[in-house]
Amino acid sequence: MLARVDELVGINADFVIETTLASLTYARKISAWRERGYIVSLAYLRLASIAESMARVRKRVEAGGHGIPEVAIQRRFERSLRYLDSIYKPLVDEWYIWESRSGGFALVDSWDGRHASRT
């Protein structure tokens, strides 16, 4: 995946990445992307709790998807929220936080590079 992203950046192609933000892999690359002229937007889909995250993974496994050990879900959940605020938000051009609610999503916080919006 990382090699493919580097390849796309090398040809100035648009791309989208899905990540839990539980690592700094992309944080290390964002400044270089912006220097190349990319506008980096972050859409963060937030779940209410670790329990909700675990339930989602169980549902995915039941549907034939891959599982994640519960200890990893717990570790990533907290780290993701911490990295979102302290590392990723300051690096990107704009960010949007969506909360999962009863089968849908609601925008709860955002920064479009000029204005903050909180609902």
Domain that holds residue 80: 2-118
Kindly tell me if the per-residue pLDDT of 107 is higher than 80: yes
Cα of 46 vs its chain's centroid, Å: 9
- How many distinct structural domains can be found in the chain? 1
> How does the average pLDDT of the chain come out, rounded?
93
pLDDT at 55: 93
**pLDDT digits 0-9 by tens, 41-94:** 999 999 999 999 999 999 999 999 999 999 999 999 999 999 999 999 999 999
pLDDT at 115: 77
pLDDT at 117: 77
Of the pLDDT bands very low, low, confident and very high (cuts 50, 70, 90), residue 118 is confident
Lowest mean pLDDT among 5-14, 75-84, 101-110: 101-110
Of the pLDDT bands very low, low, confident and very high (cuts 50, 70, 90), residue 119 is low
- What is the bridge-based pairing of β-strands 94-101 and 104-111? antiparallel
* Residues 70/52, Cβ–Cβ less than 8 Å: no
DSSP E strands in 1-119: the ranges are 41-46, 94-101, 104-111, 116-118
